[in-house]
Structure 1
Amino acid sequence: MASSHHKKNQIFLGTFIHSVKLGELQYMHDMAVCVDKFGKIVAVEPQRDLENVMENVKETLCQKLAWDAHDLAVTIAKEGQFFFPGFIDTHIHAPQYPNAGIFGKSTLLDWLNKYTFPMESSLASLPKARRVYASCIRRTLAHGTTTAAYYATLHVEPTNLLADLCLAAGQRAFVGRVCMDDRDVNPAYYRDESADEALARTRAAVDHVRAIDPAFALVSPILTPRFAPSCTRECMARLGALRRSYGGGGDVEELPVQTHIAENAAELALVKAMFPECDSYADVYDRHGLLGARTVLGHAVHLTDAEISLVARRGAGVAHCPCSNSALTSGEAPVRRLLDAGVGVGLGTDVSGGYSASVLEAARQAALVSNHRAMPVGKWADVPDGERERARLSVEEVLHLATRGGAGVLGLGARVGGFDVGLEWDAQLVGLGLVAERPDVEHEYEHGHGHHGTRATDRGNVDIFGWETWEERVAKWVFGGDDRNVKKVWVRGRLVHERE
């Protein structure tokens, strides 16, 4: 939904929670965050006089900022609500959205051929693509995703349509036309016919985004070799040259890149057989000019120490996709090892290998998967206890990955991810269900037709009783929350989603 509020100066009042660094959340109570007409945070001020809040806002903040108090939008968080930065999905396949939750008993390579390629190829139909992409964008916004790095299909017009729809909906997005020209790996009905065709189609998609958003202020193109086995050496080398030569919008010198790496054991064997001259999977991308500061590597489950070191040196980042890695039995990504090595990590839903378009779900699964790495069983049995324990990711850490971590991976760290002055207002208003002291006040129970029953409410799964600390409230939200807790969502100050 569109809103005219992004054309006004805005003030947001209440509790604000954001990550200030890995493992540390900052809780700012009774605060006012001031956002200008361009969607940028220009002031963060204590707001003590809540009883006379509107008068105080107009008398003090508007005067201080030289704003017209009559041309102002004010949003006040209610009891049980708080503002949180918008989630950043660093890895999601928009054309696979209809298949979310469908993976049968497949592992990666079988799943691609049975479910994924047929669905993606069918989106050559623009009406079908519009239906799927509009639904995907609506769903991700409803889950609080303000930025998404989308893989599209290999078709140019449907990919351009996805970019158009993101821009119209107001979602910050990276939109990539997938490149896949290897004749031996890709099905005949769904592939680029040559490296020339792959590059020409990619340029067309990049040019379209530049035409609709010249500065890449909201929507950016992203080069998308599907994964090394799907591309010929010539295709990857030419994409690498395009990355360096094309230039981005504004101050961006190079185009970003997204691809997959070290997701599955069978995939590793395939890469080794196809690229025997390369030292490793990561080396394949490095030799073809695709490993750089704005490269997003999906999964990274089975990287060696040497590969992790290479990725860190090149400044590339990792999209951690715990739901997909579990659903397709790919493995448990070594997130702590990546972080310790200086590799930036964000979260990806990886729909439809992942079953949910919710980054909050990815966050809770990231915590649970890290716990599995800490358990003294299987291949981790011989690992020292202290090292195993360090593998665990806390609530504060997974929320960092969901916001600032993802922003860093996508090269947006100076623009979004928190509530600092100078950042853009990409945010969600989260509401948790406050349980009344007397159940009859909520009408939780009602009589009907001679039996007792309960009536469901739409406030979500998280019940707050009032005695929880804020840290406990956030933990309950992470492990029990869903889209029903997302009351409003803004991108660059524009209201893009509101739950009635």
Structure 2
Amino acid sequence: MDIIFCGTLMHSTKENALEILEDHYIGIKNGQIKFVADRDGFDKIRSDYDLRTVRHLKRGQFLIPGMIDTHIHAPQYPNAGTKMDLPLLDWLDKYTFPLESKFSNPEFAESCYRKLVARTLRCGTTTACYFATIHADSSLKLAEICGEFGQRAYIGKVSMDISSHNNYKETTEDSIRDTRWFIEAVQNLNNSLLTPCVTPRFAVNCTPSLLSALGKIAKEYGGLPIQTHINETVREQESVLKLFPTHTCYADVYDSFGLLTDKTVMAHCVFMQDDEFDSFKTNGTGIAHCPTSNIIIESGIMDLRKTLNKGVKTGLGTDISGGYSASIPAVIRDAIVASKTLAMDKSTSSYKSVDFKEAFRLATLGGSQVLGLDDRIGNFEVGKEFDALLVDLTVPCSPCDIFAFDTTEELLQKFIFIGDDRNIVEIYVNGHMINDPRNHVRE
């Protein structure tokens, strides 16, 4: 799609959590942002580009970068909105592992994954970092569906050779073999939007032999992304340190197996030691903050302000089905609420909760930094690929009412706090408009 949009653009930069560009032109050609200019600048450069279609946005419409979900369990989608009555480890054993074991059936997997990818796209997720299951074939099916729908995605075949659920675990040898097969199968799809991701479930479910092999595989295939969980609950922490008694902390376990890199995404990080933050910063490791699931499963509340002050790359994750919603805007709200809850509990008035601008940056540019994609996506900088949402607060049945005196910043706030998928009228990935994802769903 080669086009020029004229209207309001809102995005984040490294310097500013929110930058509002009113009455601006953005030119897209071959999927790439060629220019961003005000009216005077556009008049000077318009002849430099063979872009003849200019589309003007009206009041109540604006462009924002596509949302980035840095942590989501694709096979858990059927349980989203249900089964939220147990703490993490019990919840895994009773609900999650039995569900994920069903994905040995490719037809069942395809039906669930089609519904999930359609839903995440409708909610504005242009990039997702997916956990699949231990089943290589159905994990590849998830990648193929993302490719068919046009979603940018990291996809990981889960590796776990320890489990309390006898029907849901692998041998170490099978996990290593299937991980290699999956990586090569995704690479053979030759789709630049799809990236295989090395995915040990977490240290509780992996032997040292498997963790060691996965660290080597990530390096062997040119430094692949790695994703896993860390410090989600106290009970989990205690289990890890019993399993790995020679290690000083949870992060040290992963680091010793080569799993803390600048392409690693660590989900949760609720109970972090200062030296673990330091290790993340040194290695360039990113955090997927999942406030919804952390609260729903009663794991705890990550101190987002402290994490940001530590300078660690941070994005947001829905963590379905620990989280009940596939919507990153809903996670933005929960991140703000969680931060404000912590602020109320602090004895010092100097503690500052995270505001909507900072949370918006985490959902866009922050997520791209965590996934190592900030040179390609995350905001509207010239040269990046055009992943974007056209938001319209004036659509029929909109949950947002707007008024003549609303500022542009207030329009974004309304979308974040009370808007939903009805307000997302167009979705773009790499410059291509995604047709209604629901058309791809098959019963």
Short-chain TM bin = over 0.9
How far apart are the structure 2 equivalents of 1:418 and 1:347?
Answer: 16
Partner of 1:18: 11
How far apart are the structure 2 equivalents of 1:133 and 1:466?
Answer: 42
Which residues of 2 match residues 44-59 of structure 1 at below 5 A? 44-47=36-39
Q: Is the 8 A contact 2:60 2:411 kept in 1?
A: no
Partner of 1:401: 362
Q: Is the 8 A contact 1:23 1:394 kept in 2?
A: no
Superposition deviation, residue 246 in structure 1 = 1.4
Cα RMSD, aligned residues only:
1.8
Q: Is the 8 A contact 2:390 2:424 kept in 1?
A: yes
How far apart are the structure 2 equivalents of 1:25 and 1:68?
Answer: 28
Superposition deviation, residue 118 in structure 1 = 1.2
Partner of 1:444: none
| Equivalent residue letter for 1:291 | L
Q: Percent same amino acid at aligned positions?
A: 41
SS at match of 1:103: coil
Unaligned runs of 5+ in 1: 1-5, 50-56, 248-253, 435-456
Q: Cα–Cα, structure 1 residues 433 and 114, in superposed 2: closer, same or farther, change >3 Å? A: same
SS at match of 1:464: coil
SS at match of 2:4: strand
Q: Deviations over 1:32-67 (max 9, x none)?
A: 111112x01011122379xxxxxxx9x9765321x1
SS at match of 2:417: helix
Partner of 2:349: 385
Partner of 1:229: 204
| Equivalent residue letter for 1:220 | T
2:248 pairs with 1:279 = yes
How far apart are the structure 2 equivalents of 1:95 and 1:75?
Answer: 39
SS at match of 1:111: helix
Q: Deviations over 1:55-113 (max 9, x none)?
A: xx9x9765321x163xx5x4432321000000000000111111101123101011111
Partner of 1:112: 92
Q: Deviations over 1:244-275 (max 9, x none)?
A: 1211xxxxxx1000000000111111111111
2:125 pairs with 1:148 = no
Q: Cα–Cα, structure 1 residues 78 and 68, in superposed 2: closer, same or farther, change >3 Å? A: closer
Partner of 1:350: 319
Q: Is the 8 A contact 1:22 1:397 kept in 2?
A: no
Which residues of 2 match residues 299-378 of structure 1 at below 5 A? 299-376=268-345
| Equivalent residue letter for 2:121 | L
SS at match of 2:227: strand
| Equivalent residue letter for 1:45 | A
SS at match of 2:324: coil
Partner of 1:187: 165
Which segment is superposed worse, 303-312 or 322-331?
303-312
Normalising by structure 1, we get a TM-score of: 0.85
| Equivalent residue letter for 2:421 | D
Q: Is the 8 A contact 2:121 2:437 kept in 1?
A: no
Over alpha carbons, which structure has the higher Rg?
1
Which residues of 2 match residues 460-499 of structure 1 at below 5 A? 461-498=399-436
| Equivalent residue letter for 1:15 | T
2:401 pairs with 1:426 = no
How many corresponding residue pairs? Answer: 438
Q: Is the 8 A contact 2:339 2:354 kept in 1?
A: yes
Superposition misfits of 4+ residues, deviation over 6 angstroms: none
SS at match of 2:434: strand
How far apart are the structure 1 equivalents of 2:151 and 2:328?
Answer: 15
Superposition deviation, residue 337 in structure 1 = 1.4
SS at match of 1:212: coil
Unaligned runs of 5+ in 2: 439-443
